[in-house]
Amino acid sequence: MASEGPGAKATKTNVNLSTADLTLDHYVAVTTEGESAGVKQLVAEDFNQKIQATNAVIYQVRVLGNCSL
């Protein structure tokens, strides 16, 4: 086993910062798009519920003649 401490031999590691930066940018873009999609879905569901509620009221007034809203 290699020892880890002050006397341990250091190894050099080259890191391509350009690739790391692109990877991070991609991760942020994908995460943000996922969050945006989630928000869009919530807004769409809320909008659909409001439309259905409005249609129900219109049906009650026009078809059933129920004006006690």
Judged against a pLDDT cut of 60, whether residue 1 lies above it is answered with no
Residue 67 has pLDDT above 70, yes or no: no
Q: Does 38 or 57 have the greater pLDDT score?
A: 57
- pTM here is 0.43
Phi-psi group of 26: left, alpha or beta (phi > 0 → left; psi -120 to 50 → alpha; rest → beta): alpha
pLDDT tens by residue, 3-50: 555 666 666 666 677 777 888 888 888 878 777 777 788 788 888 888
